[in-house]
Chains A and B, each alone.
Chain A
Amino acid sequence: MPPDPPAASCEGLVRIYWSPSGEVHALKGVDVVVPAGRVTAITGPSGSGKSSLLRILAAQDRPTAGRAVIAGQSLGGLSTRGLRTLRRRSIGYVFARPAQNLSPHLTVREHLAAAARLRGTEGDDAAELVDRLGLADRVDHRPAELSGGEQQRLAFAQAVTGRPALLVADEPTSELDSRTTADLLEAVRGLAGTGTTVVLATHDPLAAAAADRVVHLRSGTVAHEEVAGRRLAVIDGDGRIQLPEDALARFPDRRALLEVTEDGVVLREPGR
C-alpha cells in the first residue's frame, strides 16, 4: 500500500522581502515535508524564518523561488484569488493571541457557524468539535466570557470546521499557562487523531514534544529534524546536507572527509 501523500511539501524554498534598508533573505532553500494526519512543529530562534515558512504553508504568501505544494496544489501557479480559494477550502489558521482569532460580538456557536459559512459547508461537525475541544457547555458564550485556553480551543475549533487538509497555528500556546497548554495540546493531538494535519510554529518545548515531527530552522534553513526522538539531518535534492550546529562546529574549515561504509555514511575531520 503506497504511503499517503504529504499534506504539504516544500523544496528549495526561498523567500526574499524588500525593505527600505535592502533585501531580507528570510528562507534560503528550505526543504520540508509535512506528513498528512500528523502534528508537525516548526521551531527555531527569532529570525530563523519560522513565520515566513508558516505563511507559505498557510498559502498566505508565495515563495520567491522554490516549490511549495500545499494540499496538492503548487503555490507557484496560483493567483491571489487561487490562493484565497485554497485557504478557504483547505487550510485552517490560528493566530498566537486568542483575541486575534475571534470576533468579540459572536458566541461560540456563531463563530463555528460563521466559519462553516466561509468554508462553504453546512457546519455539521460543530457539535462534535465543541465536544472534542471541551466547549460544549460554553456554546452561547462570547470570547470575553471564555478563559484564554477556551478562547484558543475555540480558535482551533473554527479553524478545523469543514475538515481542512491542513491546520496551521502560529505559536498557539505562547500566551497560555502550562496547564492550559497541556489541555490544548491534548485537544490538538485529538484532532490529529481524527486525521487532521497540524503544523505548529512554536518556541514552547511542550508543544514541540507533542509533535510527531519537529523541523528546526536556523538562519532561513532547516538545521535538523526530529522524528520519534531521533535527530535527522536534512539532505536536499542536490545532495546538500545541513549539519546540526554541534556537528558543524567540528568542521571549522568547512571541509570533511566522506566515507561510505556498509553501516552508513561517515564524515570525518580532514586532520584526523
Chain B
Amino acid sequence: MDDAVTATATEIGLDPPRALVRIRDTVFIPTPEGANRLLLFSRTGAEENVDVLAGEARADAVLVPQRLADLKGLRPGDVLTTESSDGTPLVLPIGGVYADLPPELPPYWAGQEALLTQPRYRGLDDPIYPTAAVIAPRSIVLAAADEVESGLFLEWFLPLADGLDVDAARAAAARLDRFRSALASPGGDVGRQAAVAGLGPPAPQSRLPEALRTADRTVELLVPPVTAVGAGGALAALVLVGAWAGQRVRRRESELRALLVRGLSPARAAGAALREAVLPVLGGTAAGSAAGWLLVRALGPSSSLPDGVARWAALAAAAGALTALVTVAAVTAVAVGRMDVVGRRPRRTVPWVAVTAGITVAVTALVLTGDTDDGGDLQLLPLVLPLLATVVAAGALTALLPRLGRRGRARLGRLAPAPFLALSRVAAGRGAVRLVVVTTALALGLVVQAGTLADSAARTVDAKAAVAAAGDVVVPLLRRVQDAGPSPEGATIVERATRLTLVPQDLAVDVLAVRPPDPVDVVRWDPRLADRPLADLAAALEDHRGDRVPVVVAGSVPGDLDGDLVAEFARVYAVPVEVVGRVTAFPGQRSDVPLLVADQDGFRAAIEAAGRDPETFLDQELWARGEAAPVLGALTAAGWSFDPDQVVTSGDFAARPELNARTWSFGHLRGVAALAGLLGLTGLALQAVAQQRRRAAASVLLTRMGVGAAAQRSAAALETGLLAGLSAVLAVAVALPVSALLVELLDPVPDVLPGPLVAVPWGSLVAVVAGAALATVAGAVLTGRAARQADGGRVMRDAT
C-alpha cells in the first residue's frame, strides 16, 4: 500500500511522501537506569537526517540513539535484544549510532516530537519511560512487527515547499483534495489494497485548508480598514497637493495678475501648472510605489505579491497620479479664475472653521450613535474624527490669536527684539500662520492618533490574550483517567462549570475552580485586570475561613454582590458562595459572561454535599507554561486523553485573523501617519524659508533700524518653534483624547474580556516632540541661509 500511496501522490503532482512505518505496540527495553520505550520505525530519508556517530546506515541493521547506546554499551555490529510484552524475543542488529536530536527538532523531523522528544514530569528530576527511537529499514520494521505480532502505524507525510505563497498553497491544497479523493476511491489502487487488508482507506489530514481559511479571513478583515486608511491617506495627499497648487498660485500672484490683464485664461494657467506638475507627480508616484512595494515586502503582510496585485497597484498609482494632476489643474484654474473676477460683488469667504466644526459634530454623532454590530471594524468615519477635531481646534485657536495678540500688545512691547518679532508674527494669526498650524497639527495629530490606536490595540490584545489563553498551553481533558500519571511540570489542572445561576441576582455565571496557589505560577496575569496582585487574590481564596465557598468575581456584574449568594446549577446542586475579590477579567474566561473563580476543593466539596458527583459536572483542563509539544507528549505518555484540535496556545489567540488584520491595519495607519508627519514638518520648515524670502525687504529695513542679524535669525527660529510647538500641543491635546474615545469603539474581539484598554503612545509623543524640534532646527538653519544669501540692494530695488 505504501507504494500505491506514493504512486497516487506522484500521479497527482505531489512530491513523493515521506513514509513512516512504526510498530504500534510498545516494546520496553531494560537499561541500567530503568525501562525505556523502544520505538522502532522507518521513515523515508531518516538515515540522511541524523548525525551518525559510529557505524553506518545499512539495509540489514538499525541505528540506535547515542543515549541508548551509552546506557546499554552498544556499538555498531552489536545486537539489540529485547522482548515484547508477551515475551516474544526481538533481535535487532545494530548498524550504527546516531546523535540524539536537539529539543528543537530540525525541519525534517517536524511533527515527530512524540518519537524523539523526552517528556518530563512534575516532581521527578529524571524522565520515566524515556523513549528510544530506533531507526530501521522498512523491511526490518515489517519483520519485527511479524515477530512480535504487532500492528503497524503507517503515516505518509507530504512536505510542502519552503516559502510557499498563498497562490501556491491554494494549488497545493487543491492537489491534496484530489489526493484525498483518489485515496478514498474504492476503485483506486490504495482503496483496493486497503479493502483487501480490511482497513479503511488512508484519510489525509492537512492544516493547509485551515491556514488558507485563516489567510482569507485575515485578508477579508484587512481590506476594509486598509481601504479606509488608504482612502483617507489619498484624500489627505490630495489636500496637500491642492494646498501646494494653491500656494503656487499665491506665490506667483504678481506674475499671474500681470498675465491676467493681458488676457490669460484660467484654463491656460491650469495647463501651465499641469505641465509643471507632471514630472514631480510622476517622480512622486514612482517613489511612493517603490517605497510601498518595498515596505510591504519587508514588513508584510506578504513578502511576495499575489498574481494580479501588481497590475491593480499600478492602476491605482496611475489613477492617483492622474487625480493629483487634475487636482493641480483644477485648483489653479479656480484660484486664477477668482483673481479674474470682474465687476461683481466680492464673494464672502467660507467660514471653514465653523463648517468643519459642523461636520465634526455630525461625524461624532454618526460614530457614537451608529451601528456597533460591526465587530469593532475600522471604518473611515471614526478614523477621520480625531483629525477633524484637531483641524477645528487649530482653526479656532489661530482665529483667536490676533485678539490675544492685541490684548498682549503692551507686554509684547517690553520684550527683546527676537521674542517680540516672533510673538508678534505668530499672534498676528495671518493666513500663513493659520495654514501652517492647521496643516502641521493635522499631520502630527495623525501620528498621535495612529500611535494611540495601535498602542491601545496592542495593550488590549495582550490583556485579552492573557484572559483567552490562561497559560502558554491550555489542554481540555476529554475524560477522567484514574490511573493517569502526574500532570507535567509547571502545570495546573482547573475545572469548569458553565451556565450556573447566581441568586438572588438571577445572574447567569460560569465557574472556574482552581487550586489557589497554582495559577500564580502558570497563568499570564495582566496587572491591569485587577487592583491587586494575583497572589493576593489566590491568598484570599486559600485563606478564607467559613462555610461558604470563596469566589473571585470576574467580569461586569450589575449592582452589588451583598447578601447570601448561591450558585445554582439547574436545581441539581447549589453552592453557597462568598465574594472575596473582584477583577475585570480572569485568565480562562471565555466569554463576557461573569465568571466565578472558586476554590476547587471547596467547590467540589459543596457539590458532594449536595449529593452529586463533581466528576459529572466539572470539565477539566490543564494549564501549563512552555511549549505545547513537550506538554502534549508528557500528557500522552502519562495516559491523559485530549483532543489535539482543542488545544489552545497563547500564540493561537494572537494569530486570530481579527487581530492579525487589526495589527496590519494599524501598521498601515502608522506608516501613512509617519509619512504625513514628515510632510507636515517639512512643509513647516519650507514655509519658514518662504516667509523669510517674503520678508526680505522688511529684514533689510530692520537691519537698517539696528536690529541685528542674530536677533532676526533668533526671531525666525523662535517663530518656527512656536508654530511647531503650537501644532504639537494641539495635536496631542486634541487627537489623543479623541482617539482614546475611539478606542472604546474599536474592540476587535468583543466577546473576550477585558474591553478595549487605552494606552498612551509615549513613542509617538516622543516622535512628535522630536519631529517638532527637528523641524524648528531645520527651519532655523534654512532661514538663516536664505537671509545670508539675500542681497540687500537688490531686495530694496525689487521692493520699491
Contact = CB atoms under 8 A, between A and B. Distances in A.
Interface stretch (A42-50, A84-92, A260-268): A84-92
Interface residues of B, number: 21
A154 to B, nearest CB: 12
Contact of B343 (A64, A88, A118): A64
A58 B261 contact: yes
A175 B800 contact: yes
B258 A88 contact: no
Contacts of A91: 262-263
A83 interface: yes
A93 B798 contact: no
A80 B342 contact: yes
A60 B261 CA distance: 7
A84 B260 CA distance: 8
Interface residues of A, number: 33
A13 B346 CA distance: 20
Interface string A51-63: 0000000101111
A61 B258 contact: no
Interface in B322-376: 340-343, 345-346
Interface string B234-268: 00000000000000000000110111111111000
A102 B252 CA distance: 12
A178 interface: no
Contacts of A34: none
Contacts of A144: 794
B346 A93 contact: no
B343 A87 contact: no
Interface string B772-800: 00000000000000000000001001101
A88 B262 contact: yes
Contacts of B346: 18
A93 B342 contact: no
B262 A159 contact: yes
Given A95-B258, A100-B258, A144-B794, A18 B345 contact: yes
Nearest to B799: A99
A43 B305 CA distance: 74
Contacts of A175: 800
A103 interface: yes
Given A18-B346, A144-B794, A175-B800, A80 B340 contact: yes
Interface string A137-166: 000000010001000000000010000000
A101 interface: yes
Contacts of A102: 258
A84 B258 contact: no
Contacts of B800: 97, 175
Most buried by A among B343, B798, B800: B343
A22 to B, nearest CB: 13
A103 B340 CA distance: 19
Contacts of A89: 263
B261 A118 contact: no
A100 B254 contact: yes
Given A62-B343, A80-B340, A87 B265 contact: no
B126 to A, nearest CB: 88
Given A64-B343, A80-B342, A101 B258 contact: yes
24 contacts: A60-B260, A60-B342, A80-B340, A81-B265, A83-B342, A84-B263, A85-B263, A86-B263, A87-B261, A87-B262, A88-B262, A88-B263, A91-B262, A93-B261, A93-B262, A95-B258, A99-B254, A101-B258, A102-B258, A103-B255, A118-B262, A118-B263, A119-B263, A175-B800
User: Which 10 A-B pairs rank lowest in CB-CB distance, beginning with the nearest?
Assistant: A88-B263, A62-B343, A87-B263, A93-B261, A61-B342, A18-B345, A84-B263, A99-B798, A61-B343, A103-B255
Given A88-B262, A100-B258, A115-B262, 9 more contacts: A61-B343, A84-B263, A84-B264, A84-B340, A87-B263, A91-B263, A99-B254, A118-B259, A118-B263
Interface of A: 18, 58, 60-64, 80-81, 83-89, 91-93, 95, 97, 99-103, 115, 118-119, 144, 148, 159, 175
Interface of B: 254-255, 257-265, 340-343, 345-346, 794, 797-798, 800
